[in-house]
Amino acid sequence: MRNFKRRVKLFTLFVLASYFFLSTGCGADKKIKIIKLAHGLNPKHPVHMAMKFMAERVLEKSGGRLRIDIYPSEQLGSERECLELLQIGSLGMTKVSCSVLEGFVPAMSILSLPYIFLNEEHRFKVLEGEIGRKLLLEGEKYWLRGLCYYDAGSRSFYTKNKPILSPSDLDGMKVRTQESSTSMRMVQVLGGSPTPIAWGELYSALQQGVVDGAENNPPSFFLSRHFEVCKFYSLDEHTGVPDVLLISTKIWHELTPELQEILQEAAYESEQHQKILWKKATQDALEQVQKAGVKIYYPDKDLFAEKVKSIYEAYKAKPEIYQLIKQIKAVQ
């Protein structure tokens, strides 16, 4: 029954997205190419603002020949549903967390590993260097072409009843995760009970006690208003999972080489612009949640890093990915 409902929902989204994609391309000026970009974030989120910046740059650089219309807040479906619509070409672009993307592009799971990045500088060098750019194109065989990464900071635990100061505090706790086997494995290894829940359903799940907490970055914690339910935020910063901007390969190949170049350049520009927006949003979010009564903690990260080492050991059975882990660690 659950799979049947999911198929019905996906078909409905397919029809809706197809309508949005096709109807806007049939205006009086048929030389204008319009791409629909859907995602799940709040319009006030810095990642949404970065994509809006990109859309403005695309319109300017193309002289109005290419336009990107953005649909935030899961208007066209969840992250997984938007990826599925991209694969069949019924949606042009989307932004998803790399953790969700790994279910479609297995190689992307490497970026969801806990403590894979030494610090923020190391993360940017990896993502904007040869390794990161190569990974963006790994999805082409699955009809998903990555254009750039957006900084999603570091993810940490926020909870309803107590702070997480060491892995043992997670014992028996139900923690919301993304639909990511890597994220679920991490919570499980730390002692918690991973519970995948769609982002749009998480507020009520926290309220109703379906889960005891979740994990995310400060801007998302604040803009989702999860701080109204969870008053403990423990900045263990276990992962630095980026967001990824993607385009359907079907739509990409419909663009002329010139428009492809314009879109890619605008994406890279928005990637750098978003870094500035993110820093301010993170600082503002931490200030605002504290004003709302949230207590912020800084646990010893080494305790968590030591606990998750077994996850890395498991990758020895996958030589190509394990080699990539070593390459990432070696980036200076």
- The residues spanned by each domain of the chain are 2-151+241-275, 155-240+284-330
Structural class in CATH, domain 2-151+241-275: alpha beta
pLDDT tens track for 262-291: 999 999 999 999 999 999 999 999 999 999
Q: Do the first three CATH levels of 2-151+241-275 and 155-240+284-330 match, i.e. the same topology?
A: yes
| CA distances (Å), origin 68, targets 81, 155, 224, 288 | 19, 29, 25, 32
Instruction: Sort strands 213-216 and 155-159 into parallel, antiparallel or unpaired.
Output: antiparallel
Indicate the pTM of the whole model. 0.86
pLDDT in tens, 73-117: 999 999 999 999 999 999 999 999 999 999 999 999 999 999 999
Classify 244 as helix, strand or coil.
Answer: strand
- Look-up: residue for tokens 């991490």? 186
CA distance 70 to 92: 10
Q: Token pair of 164, please?
A: 């997480």
| Res. 21: pLDDT tops 50 | no
Q: What is the CATH number of domain 155-240+284-330?
A: 3.40.190.170
CB atoms within 10 A of CB 98: 26
Task: Give me the torsion for CA of 71, 75, 80, 84, rounded to 10°.
Answer: -70
Query: Closest Cα partner for 252 from 238, 268, 264?
Result: 264
Q: What percent of the chain has pLDDT over 70?
A: 91
Residue 79 is classified by DSSP as: H
